[in-house]
A and B are shown apart, each in its own frame.
Chain A
Amino acid sequence: MKNYPKYYSFWHILAHYGLRFSSLLVLAFLMLPILVIIPLSFNVEPFFTFTDGMLALDPEAYSLKWYAEIWHDDKWLLAIKNSFLIGICATLIATVLGTLAAIGLSNPAMPWQKLWMAILLSPMIVPLIITAAGMYFFYSQLNLAGSYLGVILAHAALGTPFVLITVNAALSGFDYSLVNASLGLGARPTFTFFKVIMPLIRPGVISGALFAFITSFDEVVVVLFLAGPEQRTIPRQMFSGLREQINPTILAVATLLILISALLLFTIEYLRARAERIQSGELDD
């Protein structure tokens, strides 16, 4: 037991333990629903529930068949292919345009900075159902509804605010005299961009790109309205699976998605910690 200061009363110490206990409960509330999915995905029965055999840890009650089913289902394979194709294309567009814009916007000399920022961040704030409805009206007129290009453009638009925010944050401590020095020493602007600016903001650009990717990878409302059957993505396939007939293949896909998000999370945390070390001067890059 910890040593508490003398002025701590019994009730205070009780409150302390109460706090710790309630914090653990909230953490359990956050994590358990996600953890429940993982064992259920190995269920041999086609249910979303724990069977008696599973609870008794009977190996017979577990199987990998739902994972195998993903690979035998053309719809899932198409959805996986589409999710990555659309996600990567949208990320590329969002990252290039977002990084350039952040460099312009982060400079105090930029006119009407606040207005541009409000407009450029709006895709993040407007509810997806409104975005999706509007895009459906507009993209149909341009014959973009039901096409890959339409979904990619829509997802790129949704991803740009995240790139803008992370690159802006990376630029907040940026020393512009470095740019002036580089230009003053005779470097060409493109050289300065790739050799001076880019290395310093790279962690921000990469985490912005990851945010843009996960935004596209997880997006379903716009796909629901804008995509044809050819452009079905993983979340779209899950959505119809959950609404129509509940098939445990969804649990296997969900488990794989949990793995992917854990991977992305650790990458972003690693980048953030590195960026902090660079800014505090502990690490030269």
Chain B
Amino acid sequence: MDNNSLSVEEIIHSRRLLKRKKRLLLLFTMPLLIFVFITFISPIATMLYRSVYHPTVSQLIPQTLVELKRWDETAEQLPDGETLKQFTIELRQLAEQRLSGKLAEEINRLKPGSSSLIKSSARKLKRKSEAELQQQGDQLLLGYSKKWQDITVWRAIKRAGPAFTDSYYLTTFDLQRNSDGEIEQRDTQIYLKLYWKSLKIALIITLLTALLAYPLAYYLANASSKIANRLMVLVLLPFWTSLLVRTTSWIAILQTNGVVNSTLMKIGIIDQPLELLYTQFATIIAMTHILLPFMILPLYSVMKNIDPSYYRAALSLGSKPLPAFIKIYLPMTIPGVSAGALLVFIISIGYYITPAIVGGTEGQMISNIIAFHMQSSNNWELAAALGSLLLALIIGLYWLYDRYVGVNNIKLG
């Protein structure tokens, strides 16, 4: 044994020390981990769960669904009498608890037109006693309407049964199941269009911020540090100013008798005020203004570290300025451009406040429709499915960001 190697005791001792150190480090980090898991990760998980979990029907008619399990929906036959009796019993209970409308609404989504069928039958069943229904509920039900003979109604009921459903994800892709259970396209394309529009708006904003930020970042990076520091305040002050303040100012600028319109009218370029506010244009210009610092800052930090002598060398060796710029300088700034572009794109795709205030109807993005389904239409499951898809999109983009830029390079200010 040579002198450099450690004895067994020493190795055990150092391992024990390392273990103790790791435990100590975990002890420091644990409080925040637990906190973030409870306050942030669990809510996100709840939302993901919500997008596939829809137990309404399974809670309304649990026994019928158990009976329906025995029924082979591919056969051209109605479910057996026992099942129908069970259904009438449960429907009567729902009618008494004023819940039959809820069931009608759920089944109607899968089989349009069945809402009135279920409601009217429920009304009639309410007058019958449970014993009576146990005896001849199936006959009564089939007697109320011919539509109960339609197998597709029963297929819809069976299909609405499971507590876990993919139907909200199908909706987000503008798909649906027809009465045979096959996936088909919806007549109106709403959500895919909206996703494309949001991606398009985010892309335009990314391009605009890159175009505006590049010359300014170049100028700041090559100016004397005294000038650069002073001008940097003009970049950082908007960055620090409240989002709502900046959105407010765009209302003042763009509205019918706002700064832009009144200036243009006074100069005499236009005699009718332009419709600028509550348009897609308003969303784009306001968000470009708000996100511009997110492009300038990474570009600036990359350009600051580029040695200007490469570019000068190319010029002094006889290259024309423009080719020298394109071949020498531009490639060196690509890391900054891609960092800024991904950052702006990721932020803008999920934006909510600014489109909601200045965007009108045509300037809305995915976030706005999620908020609509949360607050106005109360279709929480659909909101959750749309949100999960947006989340998947963001995680994908973020993964790209991490791969090409590195999360640890996020700097503030």
Contacts and interface: CB of A to CB of B under 8 A. Distances in A.
B411 A235 contact: no
B242 A257 contact: yes
B329 interface: no
Nearest to A18: B215
Given A26-B216, A120-B33, A127 B352 contact: yes
Interface residues of B, number: 93
A116 B29 contact: yes
Contacts, number: 278
B353 interface: yes
A169 to B, nearest CB: 7
Tell me what chain B mostly uses at the interface: helix, strand, loop, or mixed: helix
Interface in B320-378: 320-321, 346, 349-353, 356-357, 367, 370-371, 374-375
B22 A109 contact: yes
Contact of B219 (A19, A40, A129, A164): A19
A261 B357 CA distance: 22
Interface in A117-163: 117-123, 125-131, 133-139, 141, 153-154, 156-157, 160, 162
Contact of B252 (A9, A15, A36): A36
Contact of A50 (B259, B321, B351, B394): B259
Contacts of B353: 220-221, 239
A284 B387 CA distance: 50
B343 to A, nearest CB: 10
A178 B252 CA distance: 55
B231 A27 contact: yes
A243 to B, nearest CB: 7
Interface string A255-282: 0011001101100110010000000000
Interface size classification for chain A: 35 or more
Contacts of A109: 18, 21-22, 25
Contact of B367 (A11, A129, A211): A129
Nearest to B28: A104
A239 B36 contact: no
A168 to B, nearest CB: 8
A269 B412 CA distance: 11
B36 A130 contact: no
Contact of A131 (B43, B252, B262): B43
A229 to B, nearest CB: 15
A254 B245 contact: yes
Contact of A116 (B33, B40, B248, B380): B33
A49 B265 CA distance: 14
Nearest to B370: A129
B252 A101 contact: no
A23 B215 contact: yes
A55 to B, nearest CB: 9
7 contacts: A48-B255, A117-B407, A119-B41, A122-B41, A126-B391, A137-B46, A262-B237
Given A130-B391, A135-B43, A265-B237, 15 more contacts: A7-B315, A33-B253, A34-B246, A100-B31, A101-B32, A103-B28, A107-B21, A127-B391, A128-B350, A129-B367, A134-B387, A137-B46, A156-B39, A157-B39, A261-B241
